[in-house]
Amino acid sequence: MTPHDASKSSNSRDDILRASRPIGRAIWRHWSGTHRRCLIDATTKCMKLLGERLSARPFDRQTAEHQIQAGLLNRFTTLAMPEMACVA
């Protein structure tokens, strides 16, 4: 068993930080696609919380089951969003 080489992972992280410093973190996230990956990871986690596996066997029923899960996820998202109103 070989010991973990921390220098490899720290060097790549240092390179990322060096690249993001001149342009700013927010711009760098959009440029590199990090914001998309975070959104996809969060959505995938929520889908897994609804169920790890599909219970239907036929493909058309699996599609329907997946659409129901997506609809539930969208509904939960809209329920969690705050309502804004102008107060003047």
Mean pLDDT, the chain, whole residue set = 81
Q: pTM here? A: 0.54
Total domains in the fold of the chain: 1
Q: Regarding predicted confidence, which is higher, 17 or 62?
A: 62
Q: How far is CA 82 from CA 12, 39, 70, 77, 78, in A?
A: 39, 19, 20, 10, 8
Predicted pLDDT of residue 4: 53
Tell me if 1 is assigned to some domain. no
Residue with tokens 């997506």: 70
Domain span at residue 18?
7-80
Predicted pLDDT of residue 5: 59
Predicted pLDDT of residue 62: 92
Q: Other C-beta atoms within 10 Å of 54: how many?
A: 14
Predicted pLDDT of residue 72: 92
Backbone angles phi, psi at 8, to 5 degrees: -65, -50
Tell me if 86 is assigned to some domain. no
Tell me if 12 is assigned to some domain. yes
Tell me if 85 is assigned to some domain. no
pLDDT at 59 > cutoff 90: yes
Tell me if 2 is assigned to some domain. no
Average pLDDT over residues 39-45: 87
